[in-house]
Structure 1
């Protein structure tokens, strides 16, 4: 079950990211005219490519594999990967993450590199923790460390915790229990996150009342699109998840149609639902039409397989004993990443110029 959840989570994030990417920053009124419905890839000749949302998830997964349960080692590994990721000149990196990466190059430690921002960075890479880690205190420890490498505002951490619990709940429970999930989040974040928990209560109540995700987003003042502020993103993503917890297509489509930071919201959504439905629950045509290298679909599957066996592995030579896996994380060619990022940037620039033309 964990293997299916991890692979489904990683691929779900990639598919949501790739589907939402062309819609990022396009208003909800113009998107249908300019791009059409989010039912297929519209980035590069009906093919999809991933952005930082998926790349961060992959770096987290690689670091989890090599950390062997050591949180401090995970922080160092993830920070090291983040430094080199910034050096490869990724397009569209968030300001807080970029500043954190620069601080790491200037000698900051993973504990001091985060900047005070409540952006979506920690939330976009949080679902994999819920998909991969059974022990709740351990999961929370990893989420907090991951968040603080780039974002020091507690709000960013609280949003990431809510996402991790959603992915875990999606994996563990055959049927989603919104109140049980919400209780877990409230107990984990405490009174300091009362603003977020109040928004999450509104989200749960809205779903119970049969309100659409777009209408709920409008009620939060997000009719022009979901912003990169985690207290805007997470409640609306949760609404779409609770509304379509077993339907990957409907969940991702619903969140993209809310507009705004569409690649990140759809990536988070894909990770949560993917952890529950696994790869089998993701439309195969969406998986097959991802056009990526070196982080290909096959490479992501290999990453998921490696992470699935790293946690606790029984030693067959000793009855009842448990040993840590020493599986090495799949690597990528840094030169290939540079060429890929250059091509990606050219395509992004094309989309930017395309938006200057009609229809408006």
Structure 2
């Protein structure tokens, strides 16, 4: 059922995001010495907080509710584009920490009058991929899902590579939602058919990930085979294949999937958020460790608020008229200032040994 997949996707993204956040930018060799294993939250007082990965997933969900709930003849994709762009403009005003350069520049360009079609910058970062899973969890119509995904990507990132990555993640989430045991080759066939010859380099990397899983290699070993010894970068051709490897290695084991990719280092919050969204859509809320869900210390985007958001999106899809869950912008700004203070503490902590 879409409801279980949607809620599992949103909460899975949040848990992966919060678990991976302290490990962001730390190499796989240093992370165990500096922080210990990613088996619990290590951000502040054994609690976790979310970053832009989850915030964008929530913004997409809110925009989908508005776009899909209209019963008139207005185009759903056009309405989603308008609503998503508007929410991005207000999101950047709240001074989010850790926002990617491409997303930040695109959001600012929207304030200066750029249209959603012209706001994106030429970047192959993993910003679009981090918010892709919710599309696959929520939308049944594949053609509509792909149109929405493409719009989501191009608003901030104009490089086709970023779009390829977002589509692959959305299709992976849809596959995880619909199949108790993933058929990697069936999923890859759909990706290849969707992306075409222009994405041959990318689909070759995805095929290598599948072959590595079939050979019994760990996700860490696969990342090293791509030259990512110091961690998975924010380049979508690095992020997405490694995330797919973690998903296929542990499709029904949320804990192992998320901790495995965090141990690969690098952009750990985003990679864990992507994997958390994919696997979360497959296992639902009940498949995510309850103590990890309860350990997220957030306001105003609390766990209960995110669950309400998932319920509202699920209700919209079955034709019910619901109010879009919103957040107080002043509360978001205050929260982000506190969050930035904690991030600075972690930054200074990394200057000290062990190295």
TM-score, length basis structure 2:
0.98
Aligned counterpart in structure 2 of residue 350 of structure 1, from 325, 345, 354: 345
Count of aligned pairs between the two proteins:
349
- The equivalent residue for 1:275 is 281
Deviation at 1:296, TM superposition (A): 0.1
Rounded Cα–Cα distance in structure 1 between residues aligned with 2:130 and 2:302: 19
**Partner deviation per Cα, 1:79-137 (whole Å, 9 max, x = no partner):** 11100110110111100001001100000111111000000110000000000011111
Over aligned residue pairs, what C-alpha RMSD do you find?
0.7
- The equivalent residue for 2:238 is 232
SS at match of 1:72: helix
| Contact 2:43–2:49 (Cα < 8 Å) also in 1 | yes
1:51 lines up with 2:28 in the alignment: no
Aligned counterpart in structure 1 of residue 327 of structure 2, from 313, 327, 332: 332
**1:60-209 superposed matches below 5 A:** 60-68=60-68, 70-209=76-215
Q: Which segments of structure 1 move beyond 4 Å, counting only runs of 4 or more?
A: none
SS at match of 1:310: helix
| Contact 2:315–2:321 (Cα < 8 Å) also in 1 | no
- The gaps in structure 2 that reach 5 residues or longer are 70-75
| Contact 2:130–2:274 (Cα < 8 Å) also in 1 | yes
Deviation at 1:309, TM superposition (A): 1.4
Rounded Cα–Cα distance in structure 1 between residues aligned with 2:101 and 2:291: 34
Deviation at 1:329, TM superposition (A): 1.1
Rounded Cα–Cα distance in structure 1 between residues aligned with 2:334 and 2:108: 22
- The gaps in structure 1 that reach 5 residues or longer are 314-324
- The equivalent residue for 2:312 is 306
- The equivalent residue for 1:316 is none
**Partner deviation per Cα, 1:127-180 (whole Å, 9 max, x = no partner):** 000000111111100000000110000000000000000100000011110001
1:34 lines up with 2:40 in the alignment: no
Deviation at 1:311, TM superposition (A): 1.9
Deviation at 1:326, TM superposition (A): 3.1
Deviation at 1:68, TM superposition (A): 1.5
| Contact 1:66–1:326 (Cα < 8 Å) also in 2 | no
- The equivalent residue for 1:241 is 247
| Contact 1:68–1:326 (Cα < 8 Å) also in 2 | no
Rounded Cα–Cα distance in structure 1 between residues aligned with 2:89 and 2:350: 32
Rounded Cα–Cα distance in structure 2 between residues aligned with 1:9 and 1:92: 22
Rounded Cα–Cα distance in structure 1 between residues aligned with 2:321 and 2:62: 12
Rounded Cα–Cα distance in structure 2 between residues aligned with 1:117 and 1:188: 21
